[in-house]
């Protein structure tokens, strides 16, 4: 039997969940606060490149290897008209954005975003406006992006200097339409009809696209899951993915409880997937709808008052969360949950990528890497392969809000003869020896591993002390009789790749 500071993770290479879709390592860039302006785009910066983008920010973002990049919102998109943000910059109007009470100059628009995506190797994931926009406006944007030439909107793109179509495959049908705060929020039935009409017009224009319909954006809403059922019953044959969102936090300052939040993320995924499966079976749907977890992060400190009100300014500092060590562990917990649900979650987007609830902050020409950056980097470089089922045998505790959890939260990805394991030690004071045991294979060596850890859950990086929380190479591992035992410090996130032999 395991003692209090030992855990065994049991695996078998035949017990597979599914291929890990690289798009679960997606990001999200919204016209909000200083995400676009002073974030990725700042022509006046010493770091600006030929298109006005900040090379320091882009270099840091490259390390995170984002795949699907959602744009331009968020709440912002529900009042956005794409035509305002294309063509000659001097002719683009300055608009008042009602979602964040800010000024939008449209200096950076969808064409610039697609160009940036190509440079960054991102898969553009565009959200259309189903708040104040129409199905036709959405379909026109698709024509502008994807149709070769010979018709009004395609020709306009060419006129704007983009001869080749952008070929955007992934589109979101609005944003958080179940949220009462959303511009154009309507009851489920009304959104379902609008989303279906939009989907059908868009697919008539380009049948090769994939569509994400808005599911429930928060488990706290009274319509949670019932909204999803109604939407799916109506639109299931017209869309590929159902969205879900989640922001978490630790307002009570209770670290063990906060670190157990992954339980409820697992439950949210499983419950939403259960609705997809139920509709699939009861309505004899042709295809299975998968999940797009297209906003996730820690967000609770900068979530009200001045943090969400732009007061009519251009690029105001909004939602600028400062992330600490415990937030890094929770970010890793989200990723563990996505990997454990690789059969249902096919897309997930960290919200967001710079300045706004982000792993990177800028201040003038300076840039700061926040704690949550490191687990994302550590996981992302090991993301290729098949997620394996795992059984965690070891100590745990009963958390206040989320029930019983194991002290170690884990996930694993198998890629040929390499097994990557991802571990979070939730214990605030005790180290843990974690043994990785394969039923049908032996561990023969360590390829490489990194860890993020610290003693103070609230410790955070700052411009004065930028390296308080960083990742470090980890080699505290014993390989003995075909198993590996990894020594994990308290409050840590570990990602390691092991060589195995079958
Ligand atoms: O990511 C910040 C905001 O959170 C998004 O604009 C919205 O979709 C969500 O409520």
How large is the average pLDDT for residues 15-27?
Answer: 98
Taking a C-beta distance cutoff of 8 angstroms, is the pair 423, 471 a contact? no
Q: Is 10 a member of any domain?
A: yes
Residue in 74, 130, 174, 218 to alter for ligand 1 test, most ligand atoms within 8 A of Cβ: 74
Q: How far is the CA of 436 from the centre of ligand 1 (A)?
A: 38
Model's pTM, two decimal places? Answer: 0.97
Number of domains comprising the chain: 2
Helix (H), strand (E) at residue 259: helix 255-259
Given the structure tokens 């926009």, which residue do they identify?
A: 133
**Which residues make Cβ contacts (< 8 Å) with residue 87, sequence separation at least 6?**
156, 159, 160
Looking at the structure, do residues 352 and 393 belong to the same domain, yes or no?
no
73 lines ligand 1 (CB under 6 A): yes
Ligand 1 proximity of 352 Cβ (cutoff 6 Å): yes
Question: Does 357 share its domain with 230?
Answer: yes
CA-closest residue to ligand 1 atom 3: 74
Which residues does 39 contact at the CB level (< 8 Å), separation at least 6?
29, 54, 57, 353, 354, 355, 356, 358, 360, 362
Nearest alpha-carbon partner for 21 in 275, 271, 327, 240: 240
So what's the pLDDT on residue 3?
47
Q: The CATH number of the domain where 486 resides is what?
A: 2.60.40.1180
In degrees rounded to 5, what are phi and psi of residue 251? -65, -25
Pocket test for ligand 1, best of 104, 214, 247, 301 (most atoms within 8 A of CB): 247
Asked if 400 and 349 sit in the same domain, the reply is no
Q: Tell whether ligand 1 has an atom less than 6 A from the beta carbon of residue 295.
A: yes
Residues 280-303, mean pLDDT to the nearest whole number: 92
Residue the block writes with tokens 């968020």: 74
In 3-state terms, what secondary structure has residue 47? Answer: coil
- Mark whether 112 and 241 lie in a shared domain: yes
Position 444 scores a pLDDT of: 97
For the segment 477-483, the average pLDDT, to the nearest whole number, is 97
Ligand 1, atom 5, lies closest to the CA of 74
Both 376 and 281 in a single domain?
Answer: yes
The answer to whether 472 and 427 have CB atoms below 8 angstroms apart is no
Residue 305 to residue 193: CA distance in whole angstroms: 35
Atom of ligand 1 nearest to the CA of 181: 10
Nearest CA to ligand 1 atom 9: 74
Q: Are residues 372 and 410 in the same domain?
A: no
- Cα 25 from Cα 114, distance rounded (Å): 18
Cα 75 to middle of ligand 1, angstroms:
6
Q: Which of 380, 398, 428 is the last residue of a domain?
A: 380
**Domain presence at residue 253:** yes
Instruction: Assess whether 113 and 240 both reside in one domain.
Output: yes
**CA 426, CA 390: separation in Å to the nearest integer?**
18
7 phi and psi angles, rounded to 5 deg: -135, 145
Q: Whose CA is nearest to atom 6 of ligand 1?
A: 74
**What is the pLDDT averaged over residues 430-444?**
97
- Do 366 and 430 have their domain in common? no
The residues near 453 (Cβ < 8 Å, ≥ 6 apart) are: 325, 425, 488, 489, 490, 491, 492, 493
Single out the residue in 380, 403, 438 at which a domain terminates: 380
For residue 325, is it within any domain?
yes
Confidence of residue 283 (pLDDT cuts 50, 70, 90): confident
Kindly state the helix (H) or strand (E) to which residue 434 belongs, with its residue range: strand 432-438
| Residue 2 pLDDT | 42
Query: What percent of the chain lies above the pLDDT cut of 90?
Result: 98
Question: Residue 245 falls within a domain, yes or no?
Answer: yes
Q: Is the pLDDT of residue 145 over 70?
A: yes
Average pLDDT over residues 245-265: 98
Query: If DSSP codes are grouped into helix, strand and coil, which group holds residue 465?
Result: coil
Tens of pLDDT, residues 45-77: 999 999 999 999 999 999 999 999 999 999 999
Supply 27's token pair. Answer: 């990001």
Q: Is the CB of 175 inside a 6 Å radius of any atom of ligand 1?
A: yes
Query: What does the mean pLDDT of the chain come to?
Result: 97
By most ligand atoms within 8 Å of CB, the mutation choice from 298, 310, 351, 355 for ligand 1 is 351
For residues 327 and 325, give the distance between their C-alpha atoms in angstroms, rounded to a whole number.
5
Residue ending a domain, among 358, 380, 402, is 380
- Range 25-34 average pLDDT: 98
Residue 50 lies in a domain: yes
Asked if residue 342 and residue 283 are part of one domain, the reply reads yes
Residue identifier of the C-alpha nearest atom 8 of ligand 1: 74
Cα(84)–Cα(132) distance, integer angstroms: 14
Same domain, 361 and 449: no
Annotated active-site residue in 42, 143, 176, 450? 176
Instruction: State yes or no: is 38 an active-site residue.
Output: no
Residue 270: inside a domain, yes or no?
Answer: yes
Ligand 1 near 78 CB (within 6 A): no
What are the tokens at 425?
Answer: 């030690």
Q: What is the mean pLDDT of residues 261-269?
A: 98
Contact 229, 369 (CB under 8 A): no
Report CA torsion sign: 297, 220, 236, 166: negative
Contact 294, 349 (CB under 8 A): yes
Q: Is 74 in the pocket of ligand 1 (CB under 6 A)?
A: yes
What's the rounded Cα separation, in Å, for the pair 241 and 125?
12
Q: How many angstroms is it from 441 CA to the middle of ligand 1?
A: 44
Q: 351 in ligand 1 pocket by Cβ < 6 Å?
A: yes
| Boundaries of domain holding 443 | 6-15+386-501
> Ligand 1 centroid vs 190 CA: distance in angstroms?
21
Q: How many CB atoms lie within 10 A of CB 87?
A: 17
Distance 470 CA to ligand 1 centre (A): 27
Residues 330 and 408 in one domain: no
Distance from the Cα of residue 67 to its chain's centroid = 10
Residue with CA nearest ligand 1 atom 4: 74
Could you identify the atom of ligand 1 that is nearest to the CA of residue 76?
A: 6
Q: What is the pLDDT of residues 179-229, one digit of tens each?
A: 999 999 999 999 999 999 999 999 999 999 999 999 999 999 999 999 999
**Residue 202 forms part of a structural domain:** no
Write down the pLDDT at residue 4: 57
pLDDT of residue 235: 95
Which residues are within 8 A (CB) of 324 and not within 5 positions of it... i.e. 6 or more apart?
371, 457, 458, 459, 460, 469
Query: pLDDT per residue over 446-462, tens digit each?
Result: 999 999 999 999 999 99
User: Which tokens belong to 46?
Assistant: 């010493």
Residues 329, 346: one domain? yes
Instruction: Express each pLDDT in 168-177 by its tens digit.
Output: 999 999 999 9
59 flagged as catalytic: no
CB 175 within 8 A of CB 127: yes
Mean pLDDT throughout 352-369?
Answer: 98
3-state DSSP call for residue 201?
helix
- Cα separation, 369 vs 466, in Å, equals 7
Alpha-carbon distance 85 to 74, whole Å? 16
Residue 463 lies in a domain: yes
Q: What is the distance between the alpha carbons of residues 382 and 369, in angstroms, rounded to a whole number?
A: 20
In this structure, what CATH number is given to the domain that contains residue 328? 3.20.20.80
Give the span between the Cα atoms of 200 and 206, in whole angstroms: 10
């Amino acid at each position: 039997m395991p003692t209090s500071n030992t855990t065994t993770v049991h695996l078998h290479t035949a017990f597979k969940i599914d291929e890990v879709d690289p798009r679960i390592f997606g990001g999200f860039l919204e016209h909000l606060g200083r995400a676009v302006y002073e974030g990725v785009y700042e022509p006046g910066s010493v770091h600006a490149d030929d298109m006005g983008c900040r090379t320091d920010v882009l270099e840091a973002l490259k390390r995170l290897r984002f795949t699907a990049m959602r744009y331009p919102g968020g709440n912002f998109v529900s009042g956005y008209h794409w035509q305002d943000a294309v063509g000659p910059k001097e002719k683009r109007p300055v608009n008042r954005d009602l979602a964040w009470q800010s000024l939008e100059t449209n200096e950076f628009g969808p064409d610039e975003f697609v160009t940036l995506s190509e440079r960054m190797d991102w898969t553009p994931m565009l959200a259309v406006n189903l708040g104040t926009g129409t199905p036709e406006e959405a379909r026109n944007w698709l024509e502008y992006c994807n149709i070769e030439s010979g018709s009004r909107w395609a020709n306009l793109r060419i006129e704007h200097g983009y001869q080749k179509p952008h070929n955007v495959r992934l589109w979101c049908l609005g944003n958080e339409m179940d949220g009462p705060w959303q511009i154009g929020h309507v009851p489920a039935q009304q959104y379902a009809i609008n989303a279906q009409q939009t989907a059908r017009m868009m697919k008539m224009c380009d049948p090769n696209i994939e569509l994400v319909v808005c599911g429930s954006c928060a488990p706290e809403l009274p319509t949670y899951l019932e909204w999803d059922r109604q939407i799916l019953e109506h639109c299931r044959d017209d869309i590929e993915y159902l969205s879900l969102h989640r922001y978490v936090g630790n307002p009570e300052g209770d670290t063990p409880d906060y670190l157990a939040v992954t339980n409820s993320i697992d439950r949210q995924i499983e419950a939403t997937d259960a609705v997809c499966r139920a509709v699939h079976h009861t309505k004899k749907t042709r295809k299975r709808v998968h999940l797009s977890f297209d906003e996730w992060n820690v967000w609770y400190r900068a979530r009200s008052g001045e943090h969400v009100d732009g007061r009519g300014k251009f690029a105001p500092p909004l939602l600028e969360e400062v992330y600490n060590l415990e937030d890094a562990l929770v970010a890793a917990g989200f990723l563990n949950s996505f990997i454990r649900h690789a059969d249902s979650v096919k897309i997930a987007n960290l919200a967001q990528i710079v300045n706004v609830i982000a792993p990177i902050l800028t201040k003038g020409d300076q840039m700061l890497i926040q704690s949550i950056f490191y687990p994302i980097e550590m996981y992302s470089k090991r993301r290729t392969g098949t997620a394996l089922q795992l059984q965690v045998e070891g100590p745990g505790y009963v958390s206040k809000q989320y029930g019983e959890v194991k002290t170690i939260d884990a996930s694993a990805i198998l890629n040929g003869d390499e097994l990557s394991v991802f571990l979070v030690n939730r214990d605030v004071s005790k180290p843990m020896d974690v043994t990785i045991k394969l039923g049908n294979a032996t561990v023969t060596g360590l390829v490489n591993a990194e860890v993020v850890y610290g003693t103070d859950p609230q410790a955070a990086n700052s411009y004065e002390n930028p390296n308080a929380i960083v990742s470090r190479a980890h080699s505290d591992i014993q390989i003995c009789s075909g198993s590996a035992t990894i020594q994990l410090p308290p409050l840590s996130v570990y990602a390691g790749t092991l060589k195995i032999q079958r």
